[in-house]
Structure 1
Amino acid sequence: MRFLTLLIALVLASAIGSHAGNIYVSALKGDDNAPGTVARPLKSVGEALKRAREWRRLKAKEAAGDIRIILEGGVYRQATPLFLRPEDSGTPESATVICAPKGETAVISGGVEVKGWTKGCDDPRVAGHLRDKIWVAEAPLSASRIVETRQLYVNGRKAQRASQFAPGVMERMVDFNAAGRTITVPAPSVDLSAARQLEMFVHQRWAIAILRVKDMVTDGNGNTVVSFHDPESRLEFDHPWPQPVIGGERGNSSFFFANALELLDTPGEWYQDYPSGRIYYYPVESDGDMNGAEVTIPLLETIVAVEGSRERNVGNIRFENVGFEHAAWLRPSVEGHVTLQGGFRLLDAYKLHIPGLPEKAELENQAWIARPEAAITVRHAGNIDFKDCTFRHLGATGLDYVTAVSDSEVTGCLFEDIGGTALQMGAFPDGGFETHVPYVPSVAGDICRNISVKSNIIRDATNEDWGCVGIGAGYVRDVTIADNEVSHLNYSGICVGWGWTPLESGMSNNRITGNHVHHFAAQLYDAGGIYTLSNQPGSVIAGNRIDNLIDAPYATNNRAFYIYFDEATDGYTVDGNHCPDAEFGYNRPGPKLVVGDNGPHISLDLNLPEKR
């Protein structure tokens, strides 16, 4: 009997020892001066990471197995990004795991609450019959500064910024004058001459532009001529690809105005005034009394940053069953937003008077880009995994494996209500690197590699920057994108490749298999359910189901495809993909693109005219 008791004790000790590194955290009842036990948890995730970091530094017994930071259900608000560094690294035998128990919802949030609402508004910019319906609150402060925002969430629902039309509705422009740097549109039905923060949202082929309005002049013919602030004015009218279209097959390019109190006229809309920061909201019926509502605006653009370096990587960190919510996207309010493709904004771009670069003799334009902001960023790291996590209410990119990330997995996660691209990985060379020059890193490890994206659900992404995608990969190799459901997007679904080049650049052995892509290209064209660029030897597109390609109502032509092999796509074997009534698009593919038995109809066009 004594032997049996001893044996049971040893087994229990072994089980406890395998998780002896547990650190417990509670947003509701925690205290950062507590020991971090079940009975006395910590309050913040940052303090828990510090405790784990110290255990590893001191080689404490708690670091013998996995160190598990266990988050009780609740919202963990971050005033600054959660920063994970090389010292937070685990090992294959002892990972750092940030998790929540099954059945509990733990959210790491970059948002702050908006409180103190008052019903009624006497601002003359609001129509008189609506003034008693509008609720008003002062913006919260972060330290001593007013929090500015482009996103507002009411009771878990994203509210619509005050806009000229209903969501997704636009109007055709009259003229686009590159020389005069103006756009002519039908005169708005509402007087916007005094709107100080007015923005114009422009549909331009496969991308959008957000332009801050400088001046509006009526031309006497029922039209208004609009000019814009710099830097976006210069970028919008200097860059050739993509500009709006006048006289397209299906009409002119489209636009709408947004972000003016004068446009606040529909339940569910809101507006933030500048410089007061005051927030105006027109509730929907279900909101009830706004002082009983949960209203959140994002403070942080980046909620979590995993930051290594070439010399010292971060490794062996895993997030399990954790939510990430409320990341901001503020840049268009500061400098507008003019993009090349995929949400990558232009730093400079112009048409070449004499075409050609050494790397591409026929190139007739140059462009330099910057990467979109992201809620979770990972750099110089390996084995950084996300399992059964939720990414929701994020203003720009959701999760971004930026550079030199390897051997990592994103599995069983949900991405929804994402303003830009849900999941992004790999180099899209930015800054001073001209975007059409093939990227061959001087340090081979800088390319993202061996990343697996499996069994995730992505829906309602690209809802702020329509030109972003569901899953986007640039210069990557040995990447697997498999068994995901990707849907309800304004542009393309799964995109792999960058550079518009037939030259070899390190992209290779990428696999896109078993995915279901549907309800895509809702607003833009030149799109693909699966979209590829450039030479990627040894790569595969197989066994995917792609359906419900939407007929974008404001497209100026009909170029959207179930699979689109854009410029210089090569090295792919494409077989066994189900695309009902599908047409594939081809733009100067390479000789090693092998297309086998796929959807019931395939059309081949080797001379699509548009280039970037």
Structure 2
Amino acid sequence: MRTVMWMIAVCLLIQHTYAADIYIAPSGNDLHAGTAAQPKATMSAALRQAREWRRLHDPAIKDGIHIILKGGTYFLYEPIFIRPEDAGTTESPTIIEAAPNDQPILSGGIQIRNWQPFKGKIWVADVPAIGSEPLNFRQLWVNDIKAVRAKDTNGDSMQRILSWNHQTASCWIPTPLIRGLEKASGLEMFIHQWWAIANLRIRTLEVHGDSTLLTFHQPESKIQSEHPWPAPWISKESGNSAFWLTNALPLLDEPGEWYLDVKAQKLYYWPRDNEHLSTATVIAPVLESLITMTGTIDNPVSHVHFKGISFQHSSWLRPSKMGHVPLQAGLYMLDAYKLEVPGTPDKKGLENQAWIGRPPAAVKVSYAQYTSFTACRFEHLASTGLDYETGNRHDTINGNLFKDIGGTGIQLGMYSDEATETHLPYHPTDTRTVCSNIMISNNLITDVTNEDWGTLGISAGYVKDVTIAHNEVHEVSYTGISVGWGWTKTINVMSNNRIIGNKIHHYARHMYDVAGIYTLSAQPGSEIIGNYIDSIYKAPYAHIPTHWFYLYTDEGTAYYTVKDNWCPAEKFLQNANGPDNVWQNNGPQVADSIKQAAGLEAPYKYLLSEKAPVHHSQPINQYQ
């Protein structure tokens, strides 16, 4: 009997020794052992334990480490930092995953409670301080539905500017119907211009009868009036640039709108008919990034995998601090101006220069390899969802949901260093900085770009050997998938990129100069094959109402094969392309078998139940 008991004890000891699982629960405690019965409370504590196991070569990690998150919401007080010491190996990966049948949420937000009646149907709540700092935010979610920052027009309607004076950096608009805005603190202008929007903080508002003069804060005032592309649109034929004013209490005039008084730390909200603030879950974002996975060029993070995790409630505050004037794809200009004498080192005829910055992402990855995100959810996010920024190789983004995101869903690759003029081709001495051998497949990307309308479903800059396959991109304000940067025919780091079998539809809801698939610059060996592209919205404030396309190879695009892509008409644009592009069999004649094979593959079609509703009241373009 003693022998049997001893053998059982040994078996239990061995089982414990080789169980490399660390459990986390919202009700846990970081002093706990991290077992299923005694879970830790935070991912940071679990990562530290895993890091120590690796440092000490604990035999328990032979087959890998599983950090298992039980269901519930984990409100983060800082971004989770994954570093080279957290790296796994092929035989012993680090897997961060949901417990079976659970849905853990990593939230960068804070819950707003204790609502009180204010005036009419408007309610008010105190905003908690973050440490000793007042909290500022530009997004709000009520019962998982994004609320609307108070503005002077209802729904999607906009007004038109009267004129723009580039010399004085000022703008005339029709005098607002709501009086007293000249005294409002924090008032902003949201303006539609060609293929991008801009957020401009208003410095002065002067009423002159039926017209009002606006000036703006720096640095956005100078950039907005000096840069030529895209500039405010002035046209008798199609109408001037559309705009609205936002962020003032007097503008809060319909259900679903909100206003934050930052100085007083008061939040005002007009509930929708089915919302009761005594029971509603109201979340304001605090953190701009929830996960930062960063290695170095010589010591990358490797073999870290996320499975079944939900990332929610990120913030983005640059527009409130410095304005936001993008060049393209949501990349904002740090400086930009028209050249009096055209010509740069790469393009003799180039008449402008620009230097750009990159918006933050809820999850950002740099210098990593053999990492993955599988069956995760990226929802209720202010700017970019997932961004593989620099130096990433052999990574996989597969079977995820990207929904209700203010900016781009998935972004990857270098665009331009902040110190490099953005039209110069990227060709670094050490090509390990280039994102390569990345697979983006079977993701559903829906209702993204809903705040910065000039962003994208999937956006790739200077990348090589990247495959974007069998994704569905749906309900976006601008282009579905974009690959390339630089506007140059010069050979650069880009090559062998493949855009294969994607389904892109119901796009261009707000912005034109647009396509389902868009490319820039020379990319030898690259392909656009077997995609399905359909249903381009009639954007009500487009600068040129006919400037919409299914496929669009823009400046410098070269060495691309474009074939067997289905769309309802042959409405394509090849603008200032480079050499050796091959176009073959694109349009409505493409075989039904190719059309039907595009989009999510069979094991991932369950994601389709998450699709955002189509805007049936907005017409679809028909091309004859």
TM-score range, shorter chain: over 0.9
1:36 is matched with 34
* Contact 1:462 1:489 survives alignment (8 Å): yes
1:316-363: CA deviations, max 9, x gaps?
A: 000000000010011111111111000011100000011011211110
SS in 1 for 2:45: helix
* Contact 1:248 1:556 survives alignment (8 Å): no
2:611 is matched with none
Q: Distance in 2 between matches of 1:40 and 1:534?
A: 55
* Contact 1:403 1:448 survives alignment (8 Å): yes
- The within-5 A match list for 1:552-567 is 552-557=539-544, 558-567=546-555
In the TM superposition, what is the alpha-carbon distance from 1:178 to its structure 2 partner? 0.7
- The within-5 A match list for 1:445-524 is 445-524=432-511
Aligned counterpart for 2:353 among listed residues 366, 381, 387 = 366
Q: Distance in 2 between matches of 1:54 and 1:424?
A: 32
In the TM superposition, what is the alpha-carbon distance from 1:581 to its structure 2 partner? 2.3
Which amino acid letter does the alignment assign opposite residue 186 of structure 2? Answer: Q
* Contact 1:583 1:601 survives alignment (8 Å): no
- The within-5 A match list for 1:90-489 is 90-120=88-118, 131-191=119-179, 192-220=181-209, 222-247=210-235, 249-288=237-276, 290-489=277-476
Which amino acid letter does the alignment assign opposite residue 310 of structure 2? Answer: G
2:598 is matched with none
SS in 2 for 1:592: coil
In the TM superposition, what is the alpha-carbon distance from 1:582 to its structure 2 partner? 4.1
Give the direction of change, closer, same or farther, for the CA distance of 1:93–1:9 in structure 2 (3 Å limit): farther
* Contact 2:570 2:586 survives alignment (8 Å): no
In the TM superposition, what is the alpha-carbon distance from 1:241 to its structure 2 partner? 0.6
Q: Distance in 2 between matches of 1:144 and 1:177?
A: 41
Would you say how many aligned residue pairs link Structure 1 and Structure 2? 584
Which amino acid letter does the alignment assign opposite residue 403 of structure 2? Answer: E
Q: Distance in 1 between matches of 2:337 and 2:501?
A: 40
Q: Distance in 1 between matches of 2:364 and 2:534?
A: 31
In the TM superposition, what is the alpha-carbon distance from 1:219 to its structure 2 partner? 3.0
In the TM superposition, what is the alpha-carbon distance from 1:14 to its structure 2 partner? 13
SS in 2 for 1:392: strand
Q: Distance in 1 between matches of 2:578 and 2:310?
A: 42
Q: Distance in 2 between matches of 1:328 and 1:320?
A: 23
1:573-594: CA deviations, max 9, x gaps?
A: 1111111124011111122111
2:567 is matched with 579
1:289-313: CA deviations, max 9, x gaps?
A: x132111111100100001111211
Give the direction of change, closer, same or farther, for the CA distance of 1:346–1:445 in structure 2 (3 Å limit): same
* Contact 2:204 2:215 survives alignment (8 Å): yes
* Contact 2:18 2:61 survives alignment (8 Å): no
Q: Distance in 2 between matches of 1:17 and 1:499?
A: 55
Give the direction of change, closer, same or farther, for the CA distance of 1:431–1:398 in structure 2 (3 Å limit): same
Q: Distance in 2 between matches of 1:234 and 1:204?
A: 16
1:400-437: CA deviations, max 9, x gaps?
A: 00000000001100000111101100001131100001
In the TM superposition, what is the alpha-carbon distance from 1:177 to its structure 2 partner? 1.1
* Contact 2:510 2:540 survives alignment (8 Å): yes
In the TM superposition, what is the alpha-carbon distance from 1:218 to its structure 2 partner? 2.5
2:50 is matched with 52
Which amino acid letter does the alignment assign opposite residue 136 of structure 1? Answer: V
SS in 2 for 1:369: strand
In the TM superposition, what is the alpha-carbon distance from 1:103 to its structure 2 partner? 2.1
* Contact 2:441 2:471 survives alignment (8 Å): yes
Which portions of structure 1, spanning 4 or more consecutive aligned residues, are displaced by more than 3 angstroms?
12-19
* Contact 1:18 1:66 survives alignment (8 Å): no
Which amino acid letter does the alignment assign opposite residue 205 of structure 1? Answer: W
Residue 21, structure 1, aligned to residue 20, structure 2: yes
Q: Distance in 1 between matches of 2:539 and 2:334?
A: 28
TM-score, normalised relative to structure 2: 0.91
* Contact 1:19 1:68 survives alignment (8 Å): no
Q: Distance in 1 between matches of 2:243 and 2:95?
A: 46
Q: Distance in 2 between matches of 1:364 and 1:437?
A: 13
* Contact 2:410 2:459 survives alignment (8 Å): yes
1:511-536: CA deviations, max 9, x gaps?
A: 00111001111111111110000000
1:123 is matched with none
Two-structure CA RMSD over aligned residues (Å): 2.0
1:189-233: CA deviations, max 9, x gaps?
A: 11122211110001110011100111122233x111111111111
Q: Distance in 2 between matches of 1:133 and 1:429?
A: 48
In the TM superposition, what is the alpha-carbon distance from 1:15 to its structure 2 partner? 11
1:607 is matched with none
Q: Distance in 1 between matches of 2:42 and 2:345?
A: 53
In the TM superposition, what is the alpha-carbon distance from 1:83 to its structure 2 partner? 0.3
2:74 is matched with 76
2:608 is matched with none
Give the direction of change, closer, same or farther, for the CA distance of 1:52–1:522 in structure 2 (3 Å limit): same
SS in 2 for 1:292: coil
* Contact 1:572 1:592 survives alignment (8 Å): yes
Mind listing any 5+ residue stretches in structure 1 that lack a counterpart?
Answer: 121-130, 603-612
Give the direction of change, closer, same or farther, for the CA distance of 1:66–1:278 in structure 2 (3 Å limit): same
Greater CA drift, 163-172 or 196-205: 163-172
* Contact 2:566 2:589 survives alignment (8 Å): no
In the TM superposition, what is the alpha-carbon distance from 1:540 to its structure 2 partner? 0.6
Mind listing any 5+ residue stretches in structure 2 that lack a counterpart?
Answer: 591-624
In the TM superposition, what is the alpha-carbon distance from 1:132 to its structure 2 partner? 2.8
TM-score, normalised relative to structure 1: 0.93
In the TM superposition, what is the alpha-carbon distance from 1:19 to its structure 2 partner? 6.8
In the TM superposition, what is the alpha-carbon distance from 1:135 to its structure 2 partner? 0.9
In the TM superposition, what is the alpha-carbon distance from 1:506 to its structure 2 partner? 1.1
Give the direction of change, closer, same or farther, for the CA distance of 1:240–1:17 in structure 2 (3 Å limit): same
1:125 is matched with none
Give the direction of change, closer, same or farther, for the CA distance of 1:182–1:171 in structure 2 (3 Å limit): same
Q: Distance in 2 between matches of 1:476 and 1:489?
A: 23
Q: Distance in 2 between matches of 1:534 and 1:466?
A: 23
* Contact 1:19 1:66 survives alignment (8 Å): no
1:1-34: CA deviations, max 9, x gaps?
A: x9xx99x999x98996897211111112x11111
Q: Distance in 2 between matches of 1:442 and 1:583?
A: 40
SS in 2 for 1:358: coil
1:568-612: CA deviations, max 9, x gaps?
A: 11111111111112401111112211110011499xxxxxxxxxx
